[in-house]
């Protein structure tokens, strides 16, 4: 079932969902199940599974370094299929521009269709570690909007290179990313919102936001998006701070601000156990306010750990 249909069916009730990251290759999927199991009591209608960019590794061959391209956390679609089957829940694979040709994207979408996966998150992906700026893969897309267009075309039965004719179309529901504190490369919040509007005009059905720690930023973002004519559901993405290092890491990686009250509370902690508790409490307050404001879904970035998400969900759902 489509994410947007789950939202309609909920008739204004706020739903619970979360995002997971595939394990590093070679590890068992059981670790994922162990973290999903405790969250199923909150009845998520869908679970997102991220896709990681490929990266370079250097292999020492008798003193000479051999540079190889590899993906450390593959398996997004397989995980989606296995979770869907095991828990009878909708899964949302993240589909990236970076690292994929248009043909590979088409095959991935065909696989999704066969597996009964109705939703995909269409994302550009970040620059690779070695790159300063995002470089599109040869034969791939430059922006998420191009990917949304390709999915829309497939929904209309238009495949690449016009080599087939079909009267049986896929019907993907498409999510895209939004940034309450603007995307790091966007010159301004307004220009970033215009790009978001382009994605929606091309067929995106809903927006999931980057994490934020100050609800005001989310509310202002939604107001600005509505003013610009973006009418699709906007789902807040939230993450509890879990370790002291997050105070530097999260702003650096995601370009988000952390409110001073939260910084002070984390800095006063004597152990990461205390930090986790502070993160949970902050997130509970955020979630309560967002729910009161009528957000369609509270979408948690679990980063593979469920105990803190469970502690929050228990207070909210
Ligand atoms: P876009 O919408 O393409 O935007 C990228 C930048 O280009 C923005 O600054 C935008 O303003 C600008 N732009 C857009 N269109 C144009 C245009 N036509 N001309 C000029 N500028 C333009 N990353 C992963 O690698 N894997 C994941 O699984 C993943 N999941 C995510 C889930 C969510 C909910 C979010 C919010 C992010 C996720 N990301 C993931 C990170 C995401 O890939 C990065 O933030 C990436 O840098 C931008 O992706 P996007 O889809 O927003 O790109």
The span from the CA of 240 to the CA of 243, in Å, is 9
The span from the CA of 243 to the CA of 257, in Å, is 16
Whole-number Å distance, alpha carbon 292 to ligand 1 midpoint, is 29
Whole-number pLDDT of residue 51: 97
Whole-number pLDDT of residue 152: 97
The question of whether 19 is a catalytic residue gets the answer yes
Minimum-distance ligand 1 atom for the alpha carbon of 123: 51
Contacts for 148 with CB less than 8 Å, ≥ 6 apart = 122, 174, 176, 199, 202, 203, 204
CB 192 near ligand 1, within 6 Å: yes
Annotated catalytic residue, options 19, 41, 54, 181:
19
Question: Is the Cβ–Cβ distance between 92 and 119 less than 8 Å?
Answer: yes
Label residue 64 exposed, middle or buried (CB < 10 Å: 0-12, 13-18, 19+).
exposed
User: Tens digit of pLDDT per residue, the chain (317 long)?
Assistant: 999 999 999 999 999 999 999 999 989 999 999 999 999 999 999 999 999 998 888 988 888 889 988 888 999 999 999 999 999 999 999 999 999 999 999 999 999 999 999 999 999 999 998 888 999 999 999 999 999 999 999 999 999 998 777 777 899 999 999 999 999 999 999 999 999 999 999 999 999 999 999 999 999 999 999 999 999 999 999 999 999 999 999 999 999 999 999 999 999 999 999 999 999 999 999 999 999 999 999 999 998 789 999 999 999 99
Domains of the chain in sequence order: 3-236+296-304 (3.20.20.220)
Beta bridge partners of 93: 49
Beta bridge partners of 91: 47
Whole-number Å distance, alpha carbon 123 to ligand 1 midpoint, is 5
Whole-number pLDDT of residue 163: 77
Rg of the chain, C-alpha, whole Å: 20
What is the value of pTM for the model shown? 0.97
Whole-number pLDDT of residue 61: 87
Question: Is the Cβ–Cβ distance between 14 and 297 less than 8 Å?
Answer: yes
Q: What angle do CA 79, 82, 87 make, to 5 degrees?
A: 120
Whole-number pLDDT of residue 63: 87
Q: What does DSSP say about strands 55-61 and 64-70: parallel, antiparallel, or unpaired?
A: antiparallel
Whole-number pLDDT of residue 129: 86
Q: How many helices (H) and strands (E) does the chain have?
A: 11, 10
The span from the CA of 317 to the CA of 312, in Å, is 9
Q: Which helix (H) or strand (E) holds 49?
A: strand 46-49
Whole-number pLDDT of residue 168: 79
Whole-number Å distance, alpha carbon 171 to ligand 1 midpoint, is 23
Contacts for 183 with CB less than 8 Å, ≥ 6 apart = 177, 192, 195, 210, 255
């Amino acid at each position: 079932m489509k994410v947007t249909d789950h939202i309609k069916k909920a008739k204004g009730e706020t739903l619970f969902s979360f995002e997971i990251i595939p394990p590093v290759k070679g590890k068992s999927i059981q670790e994922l199940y162990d973290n999903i199991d405790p969250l199923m009591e909150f009845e998520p209608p869908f679970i997102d599974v991220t896709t990681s960019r490929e990266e370079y590794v250097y292999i020492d061959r008798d003193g000479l370094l051999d540079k190889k391209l590899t993906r450390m956390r593959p398996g997004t679609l397989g995980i989606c299929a296995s979770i869907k089957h095991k828990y009878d829940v909708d899964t949302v694979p993240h589909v990236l521009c970076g690292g994929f040709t248009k043909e590979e994207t088409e095959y991935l979408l065909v696989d999704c269709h066969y597996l009964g996966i109705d939703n995909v998150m269409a994302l550009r992906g970040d620059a690779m570690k070695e790159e300063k700026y995002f470089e599109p893969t040869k034969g791939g897309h430059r922006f998420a909007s191009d990917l949304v267009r390709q999915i829309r075309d497939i929904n209309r039965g238009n495949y690449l290179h016009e080599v087939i004719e079909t009267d049986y179309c896929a019907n993907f529901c498409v999510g895209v990313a939004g940034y309450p504190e603007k995307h790091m490369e966007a010159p301004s919040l307004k220009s970033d919102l215009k790009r978001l509007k382009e994605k929606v005009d091309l067929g995106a059905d809903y927006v999931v936001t980057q994490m934020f720690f100050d609800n005001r930023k989310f509310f202002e973002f939604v107001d600005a998006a509505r003013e610009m004519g973006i009418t699709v559901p906007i789902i807040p993405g939230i993450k509890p701070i879990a370790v002291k290092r997050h105070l530097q890491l999260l702003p650096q990686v995601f370009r988000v601000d952390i409110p001073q009250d939260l910084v002070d509370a984390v800095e006063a902690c004597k152990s990461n156990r205390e930090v986790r508790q502070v993160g949970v409490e902050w997130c509970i307050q955020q979630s309560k306010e967002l729910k009161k404001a009528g957000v369609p879904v509270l979408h948690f970035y679990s980063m593979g750990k469920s105990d803190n998400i469970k502690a929050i969900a228990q207070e909210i759902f």
